[in-house]
Structures are given as structure tokens and as C-alpha cells.
């Protein structure tokens, strides 16, 4: 059984998971590094996750939620089930300093990804992370904590290309395309690629081409469909020039 302490409990240095249900606010006091472990199934012991096994209406003020309130809202008298649901579905609160640090780290991660995935087309060199961070600021690009860094990096690349704040393009992939016979689909392939480095016609049509990374699947599907599975596309890695 979980403990039922008094109506007011003072806690310090806690992380709070908050959930609104049935028109009421419910909170629990946790060790932050354990919340994600519980949600991912690594940690199952609530006593390792919670600073105190109790449902609060306001953790900072130490106000314990009324039993009748959480029983009505969650449809159970089992506090363990209530706490588990709040842990899984509630919102983990962070203070302003912590939020600022998280956003700064995410901003840096996005800029680093963009630096790795792109080059300056005028010099064929990568932009430094600091240059990309400045461009993000100039662009007014706002990072989102609930969106994967890679997805945001791809969004940023598109915006930089559109706004022209920074000369930038994706690092291209080099691929080998082989078509049977005279290569009946070669004209369609040439329209799709960024550059044809070399091509050769023998018993098969073979070409080394450069493409945007996002076009690889589309190119592969085209070759398979046009040749009824007899052609092939092979990745040869990336190029920066």
C-alpha cells in the first residue's frame, strides 16, 4: 500500500510530472532521470522513480490532492494505478534555466547536423557550426523540443535555401545505375539526377551519377519499375564537390 501522509508536504529539488483530468490538476514528485526510464520500460519500480509516493494538487506548495478528486477523475481507488498513468501520460515540467539549457543544446545539435549534411556550393566546403548557428538566429529559426533534431535540421536546410541567408546545399550521393540492354529509362533517370559523372553503353547502360540523398528511394523505384526488376542502383557514398 502507498503511504497517505498529511495534506501538506514540503519537497525540494524535485521534478514534477503534471496531468489535468476531470477538471482537476494532479502532480507527482519524481527524480527526472528516472521518468524517461519508466516510460521506456527500463524502470518498473515506482519507489525508484518517485520522491514520495503521493498524488499532489501542487507539488511546490506541498498540497496533497484530495482522494475523492483523483478517485473520481481516474475511476479507481488504487493510487498506484493513478500515479502510473500520470507518469506515462503527464507532462514533465522543467524550470526556465533547465529549459534554456535544453533549447541551447538542441540548437547546437541541429546546427551540427546541418553542417554534416551540407556544403557551401561556392566553395565545396562545409560551413562551421557557429556560422550555421548565426544563420539560424538571422533567420529567426525557433527550435522545438518535441520534434526530432534531424527533422528540424532538414527543415532548416530548406528554409536557408529559400531565404538565401546562407549559400547551402545538401551533400550529394554518388550512385551507380545499371540498366539492361540500351537503357530505355536513361532519359528519365538523367532528368532526376543532379549530375552525370560518366556513362557507358555496352550490353548494359551504366552510369555514375550524383543525386540529392532524398532522391535515392525515388530513383531506385523508377529503375525497378522501368526494368521490371532487372536494373539496379548502388550507393557509392557521398561527395562534397
- Confidence tier at 9 by pLDDT (50, 70, 90): low
Cross-strand bridge partners of residue 119: 169
- Confidence tier at 6 by pLDDT (50, 70, 90): very low
Torsion sign (Cα): 236, 174, 190, 206: negative
Q: What is the mean pLDDT of residues 5-13?
A: 55
Q: How far apart are CA 162 and CA 173, in angstroms?
A: 22
Question: According to the 3-state scheme, what is the secondary structure of 137-202?
Answer: HHHCCCCCCCCCHHHHHHHHHHHHHHHCCCCCEECEEEEEEEEECCCCCHHHHHHHCCEEEEEEEC
pLDDT at 4: 45
- Confidence tier at 64 by pLDDT (50, 70, 90): very high
Could you tell me if 16 and 29 are in contact, meaning their C-beta atoms sit under 8 angstroms apart?
yes
Could you tell me if 58 and 81 are in contact, meaning their C-beta atoms sit under 8 angstroms apart?
no
Each residue's pLDDT tens digit, 14-51: 788 999 999 999 999 998 778 888 888 888 898 899 99
CATH 1.10.10.900 occupies which residues in the chain?
A: 96-169
Between strands 118-119 and 232-239, the pairing is unpaired
pLDDT at 108: 94
The pTM (predicted TM-score) of the whole model is 0.53
Percent of the chain with pLDDT over 70: 90
CATH number belonging to domain 171-239: 3.30.70.240
Q: How far apart are CA 28 and CA 121, in angstroms?
A: 52
Q: What is the mean pLDDT of residues 63-68?
A: 94
Could you tell me if 199 and 205 are in contact, meaning their C-beta atoms sit under 8 angstroms apart?
yes
Measure CA of the first residue to CA of the last residue in the chain; give whole Å.
66
Give the H/E segment covering residue 42.
none
> Candidates 3.30.1250.10, 3.30.300.20, 3.10.20.30, 3.90.850.10; correct CATH number of 15-92?
3.30.1250.10
Q: Which CATH class is domain 96-169?
A: mainly alpha
Could you tell me if 30 and 45 are in contact, meaning their C-beta atoms sit under 8 angstroms apart?
no
CATH 3.30.1250.10 occupies which residues in the chain?
A: 15-92
Could you tell me if 25 and 41 are in contact, meaning their C-beta atoms sit under 8 angstroms apart?
no
From the CB of residue 28, how many other CB atoms can be counted at a distance below 10 Å? 28
CATH 3.30.70.240 occupies which residues in the chain?
A: 171-239
pLDDT > 50? residue 87: yes
pLDDT > 90? residue 202: no
Amino acid at each position: 500500500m502507498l503511504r497517505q501522509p498529511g495534506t501538506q508536504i514540503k519537497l525540494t529539488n524535485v521534478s514534477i510530472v503534471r496531468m489535468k483530468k476531470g477538471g482537476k490538476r494532479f502532480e507527482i514528485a519524481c527524480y527526472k532521470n528516472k521518468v524517461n526510464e519508466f516510460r521506456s520500460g527500463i524502470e518498473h519500480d515506482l519507489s525508484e522513480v518517485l520522491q514520495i509516493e503521493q498524488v499532489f494538487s501542487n507539488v511546490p506548495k506541498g498540497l496533497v490532492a484530495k482522494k475523492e478528486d483523483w478517485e473520481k477523475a481516474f475511476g479507481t481507488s488504487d493510487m498506484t494505478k493513478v500515479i502510473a498513468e500520470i507518469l506515462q501520460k503527464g507532462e514533465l515540467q522543467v524550470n526556465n534555466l533547465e529549459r534554456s539549457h535544453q533549447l541551447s543544446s538542441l540548437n547546437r545539435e541541429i546546427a551540427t547536423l546541418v553542417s554534416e549534411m551540407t556544403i557551401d556550393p561556392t566553395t565545396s566546403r562545409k560551413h562551421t557550426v557557429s556560422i550555421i548557428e548565426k544563420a539560424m538566429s538571422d533567420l529567426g529559426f525557433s527550435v522545438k523540443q518535441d520534434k526530432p533534431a534531424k527533422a528540424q535540421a532538414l527543415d532548416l536546410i530548406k528554409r536557408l535555401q529559400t531565404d538565401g541567408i546562407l549559400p547551402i546545399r545538401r551533400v550529394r550521393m554518388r550512385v551507380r545505375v545499371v540498366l539492361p540492354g540500351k537503357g530505355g529509362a536513361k532519359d528519365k533517370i538523367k532528368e532526376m539526377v543532379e549530375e552525370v559523372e560518366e556513362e557507358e553503353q555496352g550490353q548494359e547502360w551504366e552510369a555514375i551519377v550524383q543525386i540529392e540523398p532524398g532522391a535515392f528511394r525515388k530513383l531506385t523505384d523508377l529503375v525497378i519499375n522501368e526494368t521490371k526488376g532487372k536494373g539496379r542502383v548502388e550507393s557509392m557514398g557521398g561527395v562534397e564537390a
